[in-house]
Structure 1
């Protein structure tokens, strides 16, 4: 994905009794389921976990169809749909059987929806294919089910041979002109050994611009090297090492390009809307700001010198054009995969000002940024979480309400589950009906407190009981078993984290809504 596969000399790196009749009624329902530049610090950036439980998420985008969905790309070759804080159980697309992903910079790397997706159902995927890891830019078609693509509809639109497994680029996006732009890395290894960045007769180390409106892809009209010998007509710009995420400003049409450096600097490059293309961004003649023999080179908008950190690896982002967080408006937000910062650029004419943004908590491994249809921005942590970016206190897209009362199970393990009831004064009752480590039946739980979308409960385990007529209340004890933490992604999905004694150990498991208490709904 990033830089850890370079040559050995490149050391860059890469969780009350009166209520029992209601609970018993819920239990009966549950039992039925058992069997079935200048730097300033003016903005306090906030990150809110919105989609969790993902596997190496690398990209997020939307379909532009008014559905409110986001589409999350996982490196191994799966695209999942997110909506209102919930990841749908069925993938939108799963092509792991054709994606080469053994090396860390290989995999499914890009996704773009046709501007006419709502009517033609077309979308495009950029991935390294089996058996040799060459890049494939393929068109797919959605099925009759809008949430499931037709994996058998693949049509190769553009192939690029890859001499090494790293520096594959992979971003794709449609520009304001309706053409498909594709970011391609220099082919890998370290130091661009084949000179691909400056070679106009190869598609490596370039930005490509294709017309995909027909049955096949063709070089877009107006490309700068059309009908020129020894120059590939698909090329729009060149001189790139490993462009890791590009984006168009949805308001102005400007193109922002982040390029991962090698030894000296990381780059943020800028291409103004209306450009005729042909820019040479310098690699490997220059890395960062060029100081010698710079004729014909386009200087970066921002050059970020390398530090003494274990590594530097820029992650390109987006200009914020949403309406929810006005303090972010017009800022280009980007970060670094290794160093973990998130910063912003503001641009006035040819002057670029860098601002330091301070997220709440660790950023860590920010593999990509994403944008939804409303213009909200997201950060993707490759360890499995998508965060909503805001400029105020961390928010959850959901808050625990009485509607969370009901029965909850793990859809993948329907033999056990949990009864949850929301009580007054921000209290919550949760009772887990499950099994002992040796296989016998067990049930335990307690009453705790909640705030936002998270609840913490001290768990007790009733002991000493006997079946009627031998039940003796005096023999009952309620020793503390441990703690549970419940975090809800939405009114229908969540996760339980537990730490217990008596051999139960610690761990976590997802929970999914099974029933809603009468008179309540998730819309309340």
Structure 2
């Protein structure tokens, strides 16, 4: 039996033997942030693994550069760079996702904001040598959407279904007066047509469409499109409803994630008035896809003119699984990963943060699928735009990015499982 086969068998045995108390294990008392990259970065906001067996990590810098980390060392030569619009702190190079077969096909995707009114753009890049530490290859646009000056979302991840999930912000003024987050079709405002805003999109970017359907909002009807609509998308065959939509009713889903074990979608939606929220859509989830904004903010009414009673009871929308108020200098939720890595008692917790108070939040699933959280100090001083994103390496190790101070930290504990540390990929 190979080492890998033995490790697989051992993990299955441990899972079968683990009863409910294993899943409710206490958070390790010595859980802490260990320095990973302490200098050399400029405005980092995301960290990603190519999952190609190389162990490399790729860091997104908001100014338009992707940096590569090899064996824990930040390389001085950028992996990739392009001009982006950074006129607002929420603009720039925002998202990075590697194709599940990057090791073979060299394909990855980025999302960034373009200057002026050119929108938020999804691009496909194909490296001629996937193992190289400096990109060379082809670069093409897949899709673009219009945007306002901020609340752009911009995170992308591949799901277990091999489809790309893309979060977009509603972009408009206080509590979305134009209802773009609720709008499932196109809406023209002051001469500009807006669509796919305040949503999570699901796209088949590994396929093309010879002739786009009329409801492919990111393409021209009847023309070839460099992406396709997955057959399971809820509005794939609906007239006057954008086929790309997977879920809607978000303000600024700045960071999302896909649970590497279950395929569940986690969405951290940045609030406006008083509340920050985290929503969950299970991989098998069906039914209501409306997460409530702008009528709701968390479990509370958003617009001042909203009726009495609590959301979502009076709105018929989906409630978040966790929320917190703007007390104690909190102002902007940063999602967040359900931990599946080597720190044994930490597995299964959903970890997120606030980008103003610099607090860490650790969510725990209770009976009946309910969630609660505790907070931990990160040791990072409060400030606007600190903890901006989370990322996992191939083994499930978890990292958090400090945008304001240009640093990256790794979650560490003596409770780490050596099997994962030796290269086991759950």
Q: TM-score, normalised by structure 1?
A: 0.64
CA radius of gyration, larger in: 1
Name the SS for the 2:150 alignment partner. Answer: coil
Q: Give the CA deviation at 1:218.
A: 1.7
- Give per-residue Cα distances to partners, 1:388-431, cap 9 Å, x unaligned: 112359xxxxxxxxxxxxxxxxxxxxxxxxxxxxxxxxxxxxxx
CA contact (8 A) 1:45 1:358 kept: no
Judged with a 3 Å threshold, the aligned counterparts in structure 2 of structure 1 residues 116 and 363 are, in CA distance, closer, same or farther, namely: farther
2:200 aligned partner: 207
Residue 190 in structure 1 maps to residue 209 in structure 2: no
2:229 aligned partner: 219
Name the SS for the 1:256 alignment partner. Answer: strand
Name the SS for the 1:327 alignment partner. Answer: helix
Residue 384 in structure 1 maps to residue 406 in structure 2: yes
**Match 1:273 to one of 267, 271, 283:** 283
Aligned length: 348
Residue 246 in structure 1 maps to residue 246 in structure 2: no
Residue 93 in structure 1 maps to residue 109 in structure 2: no
Residue 259 in structure 1 maps to residue 269 in structure 2: yes
CA-based RMSD of the aligned residues comes to 2.0
Q: Distance in 1 between matches of 2:44 and 2:389?
A: 8
**Match 2:340 to one of 303, 306, 321:** 321
CA contact (8 A) 2:357 2:382 kept: no
2:418 aligned partner: none
Q: Distance in 1 between matches of 2:298 and 2:168?
A: 18
List aligned pairs for 1:335-414, cutoff 5 A: 335-348=353-366, 349-360=368-379, 362=381, 365-382=386-403, 383-391=405-413
Q: Distance in 2 between matches of 1:81 and 1:257?
A: 26
CA contact (8 A) 1:100 1:133 kept: no
2:321 aligned partner: 301
Q: Distance in 1 between matches of 2:68 and 2:406?
A: 14
Name the SS for the 2:103 alignment partner. Answer: helix
Q: Distance in 1 between matches of 2:171 and 2:335?
A: 19
Q: Distance in 1 between matches of 2:320 and 2:104?
A: 39
CA contact (8 A) 2:28 2:346 kept: no
CA contact (8 A) 2:333 2:355 kept: yes
- Give per-residue Cα distances to partners, 1:260-316, cap 9 Å, x unaligned: 00002100101112224751110001101141553430100012122262x510000
Residue 176 in structure 1 maps to residue 160 in structure 2: yes
- Give per-residue Cα distances to partners, 1:84-105, cap 9 Å, x unaligned: 2211111111113xx1112111
- Give per-residue Cα distances to partners, 1:47-76, cap 9 Å, x unaligned: 122113200001001111000000000001
CA contact (8 A) 2:159 2:165 kept: yes
Q: Give the CA deviation at 1:327.
A: 2.6
Judged with a 3 Å threshold, the aligned counterparts in structure 2 of structure 1 residues 358 and 258 are, in CA distance, closer, same or farther, namely: same
CA contact (8 A) 2:172 2:178 kept: no
Q: Give the CA deviation at 1:256.
A: 1.1
CA contact (8 A) 2:106 2:127 kept: yes
Judged with a 3 Å threshold, the aligned counterparts in structure 2 of structure 1 residues 143 and 179 are, in CA distance, closer, same or farther, namely: same
Q: Distance in 2 between matches of 1:391 and 1:279?
A: 38
- Give per-residue Cα distances to partners, 1:17-76, cap 9 Å, x unaligned: xxxxxxxxxxxxxxxxxxxxxxx9864431122113200001001111000000000001
2:31 aligned partner: 45
Residue 233 in structure 1 maps to residue 213 in structure 2: no
- Give per-residue Cα distances to partners, 1:220-271, cap 9 Å, x unaligned: 2111112212210000000000002111111122111100000021001011
Q: Distance in 2 between matches of 1:128 and 1:370?
A: 21
List aligned pairs for 1:17-56, cutoff 5 A: 43-51=29-37, 52-56=39-43
Q: Give the CA deviation at 1:191.
A: 2.2
2:87 aligned partner: 102
Q: Distance in 1 between matches of 2:103 and 2:382?
A: 35
Q: Give the CA deviation at 1:356.
A: 2.1
CA contact (8 A) 1:57 1:74 kept: yes
Q: Distance in 1 between matches of 2:243 and 2:399?
A: 34
Q: Distance in 1 between matches of 2:266 and 2:361?
A: 14
Q: Structure 1: give runs of 5+ residues left out of the alignment.
A: 1-39, 394-524
1:24 aligned partner: none
Q: TM-score, normalised by structure 2?
A: 0.78
CA contact (8 A) 2:27 2:346 kept: no
Q: Distance in 2 between matches of 1:389 and 1:306?
A: 25
Judged with a 3 Å threshold, the aligned counterparts in structure 2 of structure 1 residues 358 and 45 are, in CA distance, closer, same or farther, namely: farther
